[in-house]
Amino acid sequence: MEKITAIDRPDVSDRLWDRGIMILTCTLCFVSGFILSGAELMSMHIPLSIGLAAAFTGYELIFVCVGGISGAAMRLGTPEMLNAVLPLAGVAATVFVLGKMNIKKKRRLILSVSVFAFTFVCKTAVMFSQSPSLNEFILVFCSSLLCGTSVIFYSGTADCIKRKQNIYMLDNHSLVCIIASLCTVLLGASEISILGFRPARFFGCFVILVAAYLFSRSGGSVAGIAIGGCIAVSGTSVALSICYGVCGLLSGIFSKFGRFFCALSFSLAAGISALLDGSAEGISVFAEAASAAFVFTLIPGKYLRKIRSNIVNPGVFRMETEFCSAGERLTETAKAIGSVSQCISSVSKGIEALSPATDIMVCMRVRERICADCPLKDSFCPEEGEFAEITKKLSQGETVKCEDFSVNFNAKCPSAPRVADCFNRVYAGQKAVNIMQANSARTRELACNQFDWVSTLLRELSEEIGKGSQVLFNKEKSAMRVLADNGFNAVSVSCVSPPSGALKLTCVVEDIPVSTSLSRLTAELSRELEAQLHSPKIREHKNGKELLFTRKELFRIRMGSASASCGNKKLCGDYFECFRTDSKAYIILSDGMGTGGRAAIDSAMTVELFSRLIRAGVSLDTALSITNSALSVKSDDESLSTLDVAEIDLFSGNTIIYKAGAAPSFYTVSGRVKTVEMPSTPLGILSKAGFSRYTLRLRGGETLVMVSDGILGSGSSWLRDEIKAFAGGPDASEFSENILESARRRCGSKYDDMTVISAVAEEI
């Protein structure tokens, strides 16, 4: 048996990871500075590395400067090198001064103006030292202005990298900054050639292919024309702009058939252009295009499909202002109810602190009732600790008599019998008060718990409103087109993707054509929406017919179960339930304390209440707190039960095991049997309950087995052997029955309540 232990990532690996990221960042800064130092536009060198340096600070700035100076020294002549190095030094000094003075307001504008000024002054000085002309002066001014403007999009790109911004959450400004930065890098590297092979054009072809696959024909042609124009103005053939535009258009047209057809059409278009051109450069263009297409086909398709789904078909939240304000009100209400719980808890602690001990209170009451009118109260007082034995005897449930007092006390006190009787009556009354106070404290504690989980529930509702379902407008347009192609007159189409990952397509049509095949329609919609759909559910609608398509799960769970009660009694102390929602399957098993009817009531109440809360959309943690509170107030007697829950995602196979005092579970992975055993507390013991969690992933043919502790009465090695021999067989019910019979045989005539549930995952 393999024990599952959680291993924390050591600090050394974290430091190595951070060091590696820093080295990679500095390397990219050096390479970018080197490439941008020799960017050429209209036969004029533009040191864009100056603008890149203005976008960074610290180590990144140093490496950009080193890369820019190295590139200028290796690739440029003396005048151009001065135009690159001197402004670079001035900009680095400006960044250093702004950092020392902690100037953040309009920092980007100051740096843009500084880059323009340094570049313009240096270029103008070099120009006048030679043979100046008006045309050259205009080019110097424009190139300096371009360097100053480059600070804007380089800074925007640097901000996205530093914030580690998700690509799917980029706004238009960030996207423009990133695209502009990539184009300038392409511009700077366009002159680099290896035996006629230009890496910049190779990279451009790769970008066109990706754009064609993601954005179809429009994206491919736009990217092709843009990159072709960028390469053309850098001094290469102007015909490349048209060539790349046509290649991008064709690959975009064939992208719907898959990335292989997209790459093939791009390569063929480039090859035809090379044959028509007949020059050496045309052959190089074809070689670059074919190489880029080959690299493009090596990228795993699932990553490209994910990016395509998130970028091309964005989810637009259907959230209005009132919904946002409703979420905020729910959040504030949750905080207010949580503060009520804290207030009650503080008051309870204050009351407990002010309440004196029981023995002190009893002695005080006896003195007030008997000794207040006694003439000896000033001359005679019991010695310290006189009544300690008396209160101890009372706490043990015995009755106090005057003989229990000391000889000295009986000799001096004329009312010893009355004192003994008063002790008995006062202690009995105080005991009743203590019971009432304990019940009151328990009630206050339960009230605190109720307020806590109500606050949590409201907070969850607020978060759910914040997430909301995504409306996929592009998929709605695609579905409308497929319906029209199949002869449907669509009234409305709605495609919604809830946070669970499921997909719902609702189509309202005037009527269903007689010659229409719904299976063919479902297949076409599945291909167009890139999601396998179930056959539609047809319902009447006021405007015609409503077709409801839902996404098919990737996994199906085959269930099998078997139970036996202790001593063949009528009622079993174990109770379980299996059900599914839109995207997940749940297995819930509870074992009540003891056996028989009382245990059956506790376990049934636990499972029924917990499952109803889950179906209602309540989170598992909140449902656990509510169920625990319900068990606590069910009766004055102690009510205990375990809770074992498996949550299986039907779209990914990801499974989370939740345990609250439950027995170990077992699952298979690659032919091995693993055990999930976690320390946890049953429900009904403490005022607050919590789950222990374990995450796994079920793949096709793998099995999950959940049992109550009665199954493991004779150990677990035999059970692991049977699970391994089963190996995801066809009949899960028979497998569960066999496990139950084996457990009963091994435990003999005296066995506890037994339950076994087996779940086999199947890929659809």
CA distances from 435 to 424, 439, 486, 570, 624 (A): 17, 6, 77, 37, 29
pLDDT number for residue 9: 45
Q: Quick check: 35 pLDDT over 80?
A: no
Amino acid residing at 574? D
Helix 388-395 to helix 416-467 angle, to the nearest 10 degrees? 60
Mean pLDDT value across residues 648-670: 89
Q: Which amino acid is at 480?
A: M
Q: pTM to 2 decimals? A: 0.48
Q: Average pLDDT in the 75-88 region?
A: 74
- In this predicted structure, the answer to whether residue 84 has a pLDDT above a threshold of 80 is no
- Token pair 């009432």 is found at 436
Q: What spatial distance separates the first Cα and last Cα of the chain, rounded to whole Å? A: 30
Highest mean pLDDT: which range of 195-199, 222-226, 613-617, 718-722: 718-722
Q: Identify any residues that bridge with 578 across adjacent strands, giving them in sequence order.
A: 587
Share of the chain above pLDDT 90, in %: 6
DSSP 8-state class, residue 312: T
Mean pLDDT of 397-426: 74
Residue 323 has what pLDDT? Answer: 43
What's the token pair of residue 640? 């205990």
CA angle, corner 613, sides to 612 and 616, nearest 5? Answer: 90
Q: Where are the alpha helices (DSSP H) in 129-238?
A: 134-163, 172-188, 199-233
Higher-pLDDT residue of 496, 720: 720
**Would you give the DSSP letter of residue 498?**
-
- Segments of 220-345 assigned E as strands: 316-317
Query: Look-up: residue for tokens 């204050």?
Result: 350
d(CA 244, CA 259): 18
Residue 185: what pLDDT?
Answer: 73
Describe the strand order of the beta sheet including 654-660 as a list of residue ranges.
574-580, 584-591, 643-649, 654-660, 692-697
Confidence band of 320 (pLDDT split at 50, 70, 90): very low
What is the mean pLDDT of the segment spanning 192-212? 70
- For 555-601, what is each residue's pLDDT tens digit? 888 899 998 887 667 778 888 999 888 788 999 999 887 777 778 88
Report helix, strand or coil for 587: strand
Contact (Cβ atoms closer than 8 angstroms) between residue 532 and residue 552:
yes
pLDDT in tens, 466-477: 555 677 777 787
Count, in order, helices (H) and strands (E) of the chain: 23, 18
Residue with tokens 């003075």: 101
Taking the CB of residue 363, how many other CB atoms lie within 10 A of it? Answer: 19
pLDDT-derived band of residue 315, with 50, 70 and 90 as boundaries?
very low
Q: Are 469 and 318 in contact (CB under 8 A)?
A: yes
Mean pLDDT of 746-758: 82
User: pLDDT tens for residues 509-565?
Assistant: 888 887 778 888 888 888 888 788 888 888 888 888 899 998 888 888 889 999 888
- Give the model's confidence band at 219: pLDDT under 50 very low, under 70 low, under 90 confident, else very high: low
The residue ranking higher by pLDDT, 399 or 1, is 399
The three-class DSSP label of residue 153 is helix
Confidence of residue 756 (pLDDT cuts 50, 70, 90): very high
* Tens digits of residue pLDDT in 601-643: 888 888 888 888 888 777 888 888 878 877 776 655 666 888 9
Cα–Cα distance, 764 to 761 (Å, whole number): 10
- What gap in Å lies between CA 325 and CA 318, rounded to an integer? 14
In sequence order, the 6+-apart residues with CB closer than 8 A to the CB of 122 are 82, 83, 86, 87
Interval 115-129 mean pLDDT? 81
Which helix (H) or strand (E) segment holds residue 487: the answer is none
**Model confidence at 191, in pLDDT bands (50, 70, 90)?**
low
Q: pLDDT averaged over the chain?
A: 75
Cα–Cα distance list, 477 to 63, 245, 252, 420, 469 (Å): 48, 26, 18, 92, 18
